[in-house]
Amino acid sequence: MKNGIKSGKYPKKPVNILYTAIIVLGSVAALLLKETVLGLALLSALILAWIINAVSARVAQRRMAGYLERLTPKIKNAETQSLAGFPFPVAVLTESGKISWYNNALEDAVCGEILSQRDIKTLVPDFETDNVRGEGFRTKAKLYEKLYEVLAHRISSADEDDIIFVYFIDISESEEIAERYKNERPVEMIISLDNYSEVINDAPDKDKPLIGSEIEKILFAMARNAGGIIKQTEKDKYVLFVTNEAFDEIVNKKFAVLDEVRALMPELSIVPTLSIGVGLDGATLEENDSFAAAALDMALGRGGDQAVIRDGVSFKYFGGKTREVEKRTKVRARVVSHALRELILKSEQVIVMGHSMADVDCVGAGVGILSYARRNGCRAYMIINKADSVVSNIVSDVSAQDVMKDAFISREYAREIINQKTLLIVVDTHIKSLSEYPELLQQTDQVAVIDHHRRATDFIQNPVLLYHEPYASSTCEMVAEISQYISDKSFLSSVEAKALYAGMYMDTKGFSLKTGARTFEAAAFLRRNGAEPLAVKKMFKSDFDSYMKRIALVSSATIYKNNIAIAVSDAKLPQTLVARAADELLDIEGIDTSFVLSSGVSAKTVISARSAGEVNVQVVLEKLGGGGHITIAGAQLEDVEPGKACEMLKDAIDEYLNS
C-alpha cells in the first residue's frame, strides 16, 4: 500500500527515444542505399508503433480513472471513520466558528455535552477563526479537569466555504510534571548582615550577646517554615537553599524577614539590616550561585536593607526604603588610589567620561582625575558635550590653567583618538546608557568606574577598576579621598579644589543631606588646597531671570498624596534650575518629597527629585529609567512630554507606596 492506494502494473511504453532513433537512422540509410522497399517498411513500422503506444496509454489512463473513481467513496468513508475513532478529540468548524462535527473522543472529553452548532469559544475562549492562517493556530484550553493543547488548521475550497479542523492534545500529565519540576527546582539565597560590626560596636554591653542569636532565630525560623536548609558561612553571612515553591511564598510576603530584623531591637541607635541576593532558574547549581552572588552585590551596591533576585534575565528588587548607613573604610580608598595610579601611569592616554548633561559633581570629579594625570605627564582629556552655566564656568576656569589647556574635548574627537591602550574612566555614573558616549565603552578594554549612586541594572560590565560607594555623598568626595593617597605631594590647584568642593556642595545641598564624617574630612582636605566655601556658594547664585523662573516653577506645584509636591513645566529649563526648584519645595513645611518636571535642553523631560528620607526617590525614578539615592534622584525621558511624564510619575509613586 502506498498513500492508501494499491499499486498496479501497467504496460510500459513500447517505443522509447533509443528505439525511435535506431529506426529513423535505419530508414535513412536504406533510402540512401536505394533500398526503397526496406526504408519504407521501417518507416511504416515506426508509425505503427507510435499508434499502438498512444492507444495503449489511453486505455491505461481510462483504467486508472475508473479504479480511482471506484476507490474514492471508500477513501472518504475510511477517513470519516478514522476521524470518528481518532484517539485525540477532533472538531470541524464552519467559517463562523460553529462546531459542525466532532468525534467520540471530544464527546468524552466534555462528559457527553452536546456540541453541535456551539461556538468554539465556549470550549476555547481565546480561539479566533481569523487567526487560523498559514501554519495554523495554537493555544491551550481546559476541558473539565484536563488541560489540552489546541491546534487548528484551515482547508480552503474554490467553490465551497472553508472548514477548520481543530485537534485537542491532552497535555495534563506533562504539564503536571513540568509544574512539579518548576516547584522543586532549588533556589539559593545569600544573606548578609549589612552592618553587623557597627551594630555590635554601638550596642550596650548587655545586648551584644543577644543580637546575633536573635537574628539567627529569625533566619532559621524562615528556613524551617520554607522547608529549606541554612548554613552560616561567615560571622555575618548565611546561605539558604529552598525549593522554588517555598520561595514563591517568601516573595508573596515581600521578604518579611527584612522588616523582622529591622524591628528586632528598635531601641538601638543603629538597627540591624539584611541584604539578600537570590539566584534562581540557572542551568546548574553553580550558575545559581553566581546569580545569587551578583544579586547580593547589587543589593549592597544599592545601599543594603533589601532583597535582589537574579534569574539570568533580569534583576527584581524588594525593600530598600531605609537610609543608607555609612560603611566605608579609608583602607579601601587607599587601595583604589594605588590601583588607579598604576592604571593611569601605564596607559597611553586617559579619557574621562561622565553622564550625559554633565553636572557639577560629574565635572568636579573629572577635574580631580585630570589634575593628577596631566601633572604626571599623561595625555588626559574629559568629554564635555552640553553643560549649564555653572558647569561652563568651571570648565572655563580650569581650562585657563596652562596644564589644563585643551583638556576638555568633544565626543567626536574622543572617538577619533581612543584605542585599546586608552584608559577610559567613567565618573558619577555606572549605567551604560546614561554615560556621555556609550559607544566608547566598546572601543577599549581598559575601563574604570568611580561612582556613588545606588546600583542599577544596566551597569558597566567587568571594569578593570570599580570604585562604587553608595554611602558617599558625591563622586567628588570619593575623588577627594583618592587624591590624598594617590600622590605623596599635593597636586590640586585652588581652581581644581574649588571644582571638587562645588560638586560636594551641590550633591549635599550645602552639606545638609547625605553627609557623614568622611564628607567633612574630604571638604577639609579641599579647603586646605585652596577651595573657598564662600566662592563656591557664589557659583550657584542665579540671575534675576532664572530666579523668577524658579519661583514660578515652585509656585506651580501641586500636592499629591498629602506630602508629595509635584511641579511641571513645559518650558526648556536648565537642569540646575530644575534641581534647585526641587530643593526649595522640600523646604516647605509639610512637604517630605518633591518632584520637578520640565522640558530639558537635550531631552523631552527632565525630572529632579528630593526626599527627606521617608520616600526613596531613587526607587521611584528607577521605574522611569532614572536613578540616584534615597534622598536625591533624577531621570531623563527622551520621547515623553512633561504632562505624560507626570502621569507616569504618579503611577510609579502609587506602585512604590503600595509595595
pLDDT of residue 77: 53
Of 622, 623, 632, 578, give the one whose Cα is nearest residue 600.
578
User: CB under 8 Å to 89, separation ≥6 — which residues?
Assistant: 102, 103, 105, 106, 108, 109, 143, 148, 167, 168
| 3-state SS, residue 584 | helix
pLDDT of residue 156: 76
pLDDT of residue 164: 87
pTM: 0.61
Residue pLDDT, tens place only, 204-244: 888 888 888 899 999 999 999 999 999 999 989 999 999 99
Pair type for strands 422-427 and 558-560: unpaired
* Joined grid coordinates for residue 53: 503506444
To the nearest 5 percent, what fractions of the chain are helix, strand and coil? 45, 20, 35
* Joined grid coordinates for residue 69: 473513481
Between CA 204 and CA 268 the distance in angstroms is 8
* Spans of the chain, pLDDT less than 70: 1-21, 23, 27, 30-31, 33-34, 39, 56-85, 134-135, 157-160, 321-329, 601-603
pLDDT of residue 72: 45
Residue 523: what residue type? A
CB 154 within 8 A of CB 132: yes
pLDDT of residue 5: 34
Residue pLDDT, tens place only, 269-294: 788 889 999 999 998 999 999 999 98
pLDDT of residue 7: 36
